[in-house]
Structure 1
Amino acid sequence: MYTPAKPSRSSMLPLRRLNYHVRQWGPEESALPPLVLLHGWMDVSASYQFMVDALWHERRIIAPDWRGFGRTASAQADHYLFADYLADLDLLLDQCAPDQAVDLVGHSMGGNVAMMYAGVRPARIRRLVNLEGFGLPATQPAQAPARYAQWIDEIKQLHQGDKALKTYDGPEAVAQRLMKTNPRLSQDKAEWLALHWAQPNAQGLWEILGDPAHKITSAQLYRVDEALALYGCITAPVLAVEASGDSLGQWWQGKYSLNEYHQRLTHVRNVRIAVVPDAGHMLHHDQPQAVAALIERFLEES
């Protein structure tokens, strides 16, 4: 099994009536700005361990488990609002890095949160790295009636038990699931991740540490005009990192493309794009050394 080179420490933080699990690496005090890592959908903060191990400099690193993921309590609701991640992050920074601009890294959903937050609170971010946080395909107002109906129907399905997450016989089966989803993931890393990504329930079956309510489609349409307005307010330099595998094209099958995403990025005043070879969407698992090197070089620039 994988052995971390830089073991993390955990703490629970009261935040917006929830107990938030926060994972940290490195010294409590450092001359470098805090580095905050935001994980993606159906993932956990421990997902960054391989990348953290590959970072060169010792610094304080902070990574929360989002509400309803990992060891952070669920919201005790039957759906989640994206705006809550922005408020959670803001209050987290107030407690963990008050009066200090941070370096922010987000993967996938976490990358989308990072981009939005940097537009809402530009002074709080020194530099931003977006790992495959592409946003979503454009929508039209005419889609609203069907979207609200879908949201209601999925909430009914959740309460009927139709949205329950799959269970596994043990951590070995969880590791196999992780490797099936990401064929580039080695077995030693999958076995280590499985212990942080899932846990046994009362029946002894292993469950993914994610609230099933996260599977409910948002009632709100994704408005590109809002996203671009937020992008335009970002003042921090941005590094947008993509994997060579073009996961965006695989997901959306022509409904949304890398070219369209790149066009959106032109609304960010200071942005560059980097591509990680031989990597898929979980690029920080596939090529942790390459991703760490990109981040380190970018954060070191004056």
Structure 2
Amino acid sequence: MYRERQSAQTLTRSLRGNPCHLRCWGPDTSPLPPLVLLHGWMDVGASWQFVVDAFSEALSGQRRIIAPDWRGFGLSMPASAVDCYHFSDYLADLDALLHELAGEAAIDLVGHSMGGNLAMMYAGVRPARIRRLVNLEGFGLPATDPAEAPARYAQWLDELQRLRQGEIHLKSYDSADKVAARLMRTNPRLGADKAAWLAQHWARQGADGRWHVLGDAAHKVVSAQLYRVDEALALYAAITAPVLCIESEQDSPALWFKGRFTLREHHQRLTHVRQLQTATVQDAGHMLHHDQPAVVARLIEDFLGA
């Protein structure tokens, strides 16, 4: 099994009436700005362990590094059941967390996938709160047309009903080894040692003896709101911090959306960001922080120290 180089402290804070589980590395206090790492959809804060282990002592030994579990993921489960999650709540949770961690001081923010999208949104909403921003494969979504709204709301209502009836759910597994095998099927580049380690944090054994993914099935319910590109571009334009966008060598949007949204279109949207750098990681897929943690760590560290 993978052996951690940097041991994490874990703690739970109450944010907006809900528990927020945090993994923390580095000194408890530091004159340097905190580095906050945001995970993606159906992931957990522990997912950043490999990158943290690859940071130099100059970074990990001198700065406070915090990786929260988003609400409804990992160990940040709402006190009472919910049937859907909204991006605006993630944004408010992040704002509350950063206020608790750093007051009004600027911090450094890194996000992967969904976390990258939320980091970009937040940096546009609270530009003074972000010193530097790193977006790993956070591409946004295909453009939509307002005429799609009636069907989208109907789909959302239908899926809420299906969730209540138990038709929308997450799989469970016979063992932690089966969870690790599932992670490696999703990402063939993930080594067996890292998969075995992640399995212990991505799922947990229940009273029934089976291993259950640490995520709420309600996350699989479609968003009620359409993705509005004009709003995303306005947020991009409001970002004042330098931004580094790190991508894998594959065109992830084209793979996911079957041509409805491509990396080229994402790059066109990024022209609205004032201070932008980009980097491509070779021999890596969407989970590039698992595939090439040393490369990703070096890119982040060089950018933060520039």
TM-score between the two structures when normalised by the length of structure 1? 0.98
User: Counterpart in 2 of 1:22?
Assistant: 22
Q: Distance in 1 between matches of 2:5 and 2:30?
A: 19
User: Counterpart in 2 of 1:5?
Assistant: 5
Higher alpha-carbon deviation: 124-133 or 243-252: 243-252
- Partner of 1:95, secondary structure, is helix
Q: Distance in 2 between matches of 1:163 and 1:236?
A: 40
Please tell me the residue identity of whatever aligns with 1:245.
Q
Counterpart among 80, 101, 106 of residue 106 in structure 2: 101
Q: Deviations over 1:176-235 (max 9, x none)?
A: 000000000000000000000000122111010000000000010000000000001000
- 2:113–2:138 Cα contact (<8 Å) kept: yes
User: Counterpart in 1 of 2:64?
Assistant: 60
Counterpart among 68, 75, 79 of residue 71 in structure 1: 75
Q: Distance in 1 between matches of 2:126 and 2:90?
A: 13
Q: Distance in 1 between matches of 2:81 and 2:121?
A: 25
Q: Distance in 2 between matches of 1:76 and 1:165?
A: 15
- Partner of 2:212, secondary structure, is strand
**Residues 281-296 of structure 1 correspond to what in structure 2 (within 5 A)?**
281-296=286-301
**Residues 77-156 of structure 1 correspond to what in structure 2 (within 5 A)?**
77-156=82-161
Structure 2 unaligned regions, length at least 5: none
Q: Distance in 2 between matches of 1:102 and 1:179?
A: 33
- Partner of 2:283, secondary structure, is coil
Q: Deviations over 1:62-109 (max 9, x none)?
A: 111000000012362100111101100000011111131100000000
The aligned length equals 301
- 2:189–2:291 Cα contact (<8 Å) kept: yes
Q: CA deviation at 1:10?
A: 0.5
Structure 1 unaligned regions, length at least 5: none
Higher alpha-carbon deviation: 211-220 or 94-103: 94-103
RMSD of aligned Cα (Å): 0.8
Q: CA deviation at 1:31?
A: 3.3
Q: Deviations over 1:155-189 (max 9, x none)?
A: 11101101111010010000000000000000000
Q: CA deviation at 1:143?
A: 0.4
Q: Distance in 2 between matches of 1:170 and 1:227?
A: 41
Q: CA deviation at 1:9?
A: 0.5
User: Counterpart in 1 of 2:217?
Assistant: 212
Q: Distance in 2 between matches of 1:31 and 1:299?
A: 15
- Partner of 1:163, secondary structure, is coil
Q: Distance in 2 between matches of 1:119 and 1:242?
A: 21
Q: Distance in 1 between matches of 2:82 and 2:194?
A: 33
- Partner of 1:21, secondary structure, is strand
Q: CA deviation at 1:29?
A: 1.8
Q: Distance in 1 between matches of 2:210 and 2:229?
A: 41
Higher alpha-carbon deviation: 35-44 or 241-250: 241-250
Q: Distance in 2 between matches of 1:141 and 1:9?
A: 46
Aligned residues with identical type, % of pairs: 64
4+ residue stretches of structure 1 with deviation over 3 A?
none
User: Counterpart in 1 of 2:303?
Assistant: 298
Please tell me the residue identity of whatever aligns with 1:6.
Q
TM-score between the two structures when normalised by the length of structure 2? 0.97
